[in-house]
Amino acid sequence: MKLVFHPLQQEQARLMLNWRYPPPYDRYNFDTDIPQATLQYLLDSQNAFYAILNPQTELKGFCSFGPDGQVPGGAYPDNALDIGMGIRPDLVGQGHGKQYAEAVANYGVTRYNTQRLRVTIAAFNHRAQRVWQGLGFLPVERFVKANSEETFVVMTRAV
């Protein structure tokens, strides 16, 4: 499956605001109480959001590179590129996560010329952890998110 990356456009961001994941993944739903602020965040070039498209330009998911992939409370030395990623809800759980994650990692390495990649994943999300471990990422830290009780795992991989 060939995937194409393009800076996130407003129409794509609006579609993403309506994505709804079932529990327990519903914590990944975008905040629709303040849609304009969320749109501005997604479209701000400093947040480095990209649309993940198939060759027919159909939106399959999104990714981000940099601080958006960090969670308050974790230790984030500057020696790695942080990755955030989401797949359209109707495509989740179909066994394509590794392909998406590998394409995102490869794009990040090429686009940002980095030597180390990092992902931060909610500890409950074993499915995502398995995907990234399958790409050679190893856990390096476990922490509780600031002002919450939610635990996260930080995983890294050298390029």
> What confidence category does residue 1 fall into, taking pLDDT thresholds of 50, 70 and 90?
confident
* pLDDT exceeds cutoff 80 at 113: yes
Give per-residue pLDDT as tens, 17-69.
999 999 999 999 998 888 999 999 999 999 999 999 999 999 999 999 999 99
Q: How far apart are CA 59 and CA 138, in angstroms?
A: 29
List, in order, residues 6 or more apart from 62 with CB less than 8 Å away.
Answer: 8, 12, 16, 49, 50, 51, 52, 85, 86
Q: Decide: 107 and 50 in contact? Cβ < 8 Å.
A: yes
* pLDDT exceeds cutoff 80 at 140: yes
- For 131-143, the three-class secondary structure string (H helix, E strand, C coil) is HHHCCCCEEEEEE
Look up the pTM and report it: 0.95
